[in-house]
Structure 1
Amino acid sequence: MTNKVVVRKMTDEDLEDVLEIEHASFATPWSRDSFNHELHDNPYAAYYVIVLDDQIVGYCGLWVIIDEAHITNIAILPEFRGYRLGKTLFQYVLQEAKRIGSVQLSLEVRVSNVTAQKMYRQFGLVPGGIRKNYYTDNQEDALVMWVKL
Structure 2
Amino acid sequence: MRYAIRPMRLADVPQATEIDKECFPTQWPPPPYKNDLLFNRPARYLVACKEENHAVPVEETEQRGAPLNHFLEGVRRFFYAAEASPARQRIVGLIGFWLMAGEAHITTIGVRQAYQRQGIAELLFISTIDTALMRNAQVMTLEVRLSNSAAQALYEKYGFITMGVRRGYYTDNREDAVIMTTDTLTSALFQAQFQRLKRAHAERWGPALCQID
Spell out the pairing of 1:1-149 with structure 2 (5 A cutoff).
3-26=1-24, 27-31=26-30, 34-53=32-51, 54-148=89-183, 149=185
More helix by share: 2
Instruction: Output the aligned Cα RMSD.
Output: 1.2
User: Whose strand proportion is higher, 1 or 2?
Assistant: 1
CA distance in 2: counterparts of 1:48 and 1:58, whole angstroms: 9
* Post-superposition CA distance 1:33-56 (Å, at most 9, x none): x11221111111111101134321
SS in structure 1 at match of 2:182: strand
Q: CA deviation at 1:17?
A: 0.7
Query: Is the 1:49–1:60 contact (alpha carbons within 8 Å) kept by the matching residues of 2?
Result: yes
Which runs of 5 or more structure 2 residues have no equivalent in the other structure?
52-88, 186-213
Counterparts in 2 of 1:97 and 1:30: CA distance versus 1, 3 Å: farther
1:83 Cα shift? Answer: 1.2
TM-score normalised over the length of structure 1: 0.93
Shift of 1:75: 0.5
Q: Which amino acid aligns with 1:117?
A: Q
- The structure number with the bigger radius of gyration is 2
Deviations 1:6-30 (A, max 9, x none): 1000000101110000000112134
User: What are the ranges of 5 or more consecutive residues in structure 1 without an aligned counterpart?
Assistant: none
Where in structure 1 do 4 or more consecutive aligned residues deviate above 4 Å?
A: none
In the alignment, the residues of structure 1 paired with residue 109 and residue 132 of structure 2 have an alpha-carbon distance, to the nearest angstrom, of 15
Partner amino acid for 1:76?
V
- Distance between the aligned counterparts of 2:122 and 2:156, measured in 1? 11
Helix, strand or coil at the partner of 1:143: strand
Q: In 2, are the aligned partners of 1:22 and 1:30 still within 8 Å (CA)?
A: no
CA deviation after TM superposition for structure 1 residue 87, in Å: 0.3
User: In the comparison of the two structures, how many residue pairs are matched?
Assistant: 146
SS at match of 2:180: strand
Q: Distance in 2 between matches of 1:35 and 1:60?
A: 11
Distance 2:120 2:29 in 1: 21
| Deviation sequence 1:77-96 (CA, Å, 0-9, x none) | 11211111100110111110
SS of match in other structure, 2:154: helix
Return the alpha-carbon distance in structure 2 between the equivalents of residues 127 and 94 of structure 1: 18
Paired with 1:81 and 1:128, the residues of 2 have a C-alpha distance of: 28
Q: In structure 1, how many angstroms separate the alpha carbons of the residues matched to 2:164 and 2:95?
A: 22
State the 1:62 CA deviation: 1.2
Q: TM-score, normalised by structure 2?
A: 0.66
More displaced stretch, 22-31 vs 87-96:
22-31
